[in-house]
Amino acid sequence: MREIVIGPNESEKRLDRFLNFYFREASAGFIYKMLRKKNITLNGKKADGTEKLKESDVIRVFFSDETFEKLKGNTSPQKSARKALKSLGNISVIYEDDNIVLVNKPFGVLSQKAKPEDISLNEWFIDYLLNKGDITKESLSSYRPSICNRLDRNTSGLVICAKSLIGARTMNELISKRFIDKYYRTIVFGHLSEPVSLKGYLSKDEKKNKVDIKVNNPGDGYSYIETDYEPIDYIKEKDLTVLEVKLVTGKPHQIRAHLSSIGHPIIGDFKYGGQKVDSLDHQLLHSYRVRFPEDLDKPFDTLSGKEFTAPLPKEFQKITG
């Protein structure tokens, strides 16, 4: 018999969903059968799987050790994750508390892996927490920390990562409801002199991994987007404008495609019409700062109204002089 004691990251989950995640190699039908036969109990009583778990609840599992481990599957970090910290190096941490971490993602790093062999920021984050002792291999059986917002591989800057379940739920809700203000820095071709709020409709071609933007809504497949920008500097000798861009809505490639659609593509962004400047071979787009809303509830009240910035990559200095 094995006991699983519910911690804060598992609290409020339904019992059946927790068990399906914990025993990755078991079918849902098998889990329900074990509940019916009382081979899995909750706090010493028969359960049907719909119960909401509370911290300190005890799940007892009457399996042999061999069956228990077999049904759990390989819950330890994958080989790529164990090497992530070494492979990606010391990615800068901008802020950290018990629930979230803000990191400054370098360009060239995937936010989440596209193929099993990829090493992404998500694997780095898990490896980072394991190395600090904030999580254990065992705790990964029931909750896996993860990033909350994604950046393109060659977009750098601030990424919000959730250490805890409450961190993930809260940050994802704030992001989805647009309560967190996200600002980017970029350099575009041409002269832009006034702040503008761009509005339009976006559709993504998954096969080409490219988006299309229309001013008016063409119908199905297009989503409303809004992108605000403000000129910061104009480099006359190169005819380039430094912009701060506020991402009002958050769609794939939104900033890149929206700026290109008005004839001012980002430098180095070959996919959306940007050309090479100096030795730059990727789009120069940086998630520069985030601002949290006022009056956040505990345990996030210390973040209320706070703003965090990620230093600009050295490429900005090279281009702007």
Given a cut of 50, whether residue 80 has pLDDT beyond it is no
Q: Are residues 266 and 190 both part of a single domain?
A: yes
Q: Are residues 198 and 315 both part of a single domain?
A: yes
Q: Are residues 245 and 295 both part of a single domain?
A: yes
Global confidence as pTM = 0.81
Q: Are residues 150 and 24 both part of a single domain?
A: no
pLDDT category of residue 175 using cuts at 50, 70 and 90: very high
Query: In sequence order, which residues have a C-beta less than 8 Å from that of residue 70 and are 6 or more positions away?
Result: 25
If one counts every other C-beta atom within 10 angstroms of the C-beta of residue 202, the result is 22
Q: Are residues 230 and 112 both part of a single domain?
A: no
Residues 9, 142 contacting (CB under 8 angstroms): yes
Q: Give CA–CA dist 281/261, Å, rounded.
A: 21
Q: Are residues 101 and 169 both part of a single domain?
A: yes
Q: Average pLDDT of 94-111? A: 96
Taking the CA atoms of residue 216, residue 219, residue 221 and residue 224 in that order, the dihedral angle to the nearest 10 degrees is 40
Looking up tokens 């008005």 gives 262
Q: Write down which residue in 15, 46, 72 finishes a domain.
A: 72
Q: What is the pLDDT of residues 209-264, one digit of tens each?
A: 999 999 999 989 999 999 999 999 999 999 999 999 999 999 999 999 999 999 99
* Helices and strands counted in the chain (H then E): 9, 14
Q: Write down which residue in 25, 53, 72 finishes a domain.
A: 72
CATH at residue 55: 3.10.290.10
pLDDT at 74: 61
Q: Write down which residue in 157, 176, 195 finishes a domain.
A: 176
Evaluate the CA torsion angle 73, 74, 76, 78 in order and state its sign.
negative
- Give the type of residue at 115: K
- Give the residue numbers spanning the domain of 140: 79-176
pLDDT at 77: 47
Q: Are residues 62 and 27 both part of a single domain?
A: yes
Q: Give CA–CA dist 125/33, Å, rounded.
A: 36
Better-predicted residue by pLDDT, 118 or 233: 233
Q: What is the pLDDT of residues 120-148, one digit of tens each?
A: 999 999 999 998 999 888 888 888 899 99
Q: Are residues 280 and 260 both part of a single domain?
A: yes
Residues 92, 103 contacting (CB under 8 angstroms): yes
pLDDT at 143: 87
Q: How many domains does the chain have?
A: 3
CATH at residue 150: 3.30.2350.10
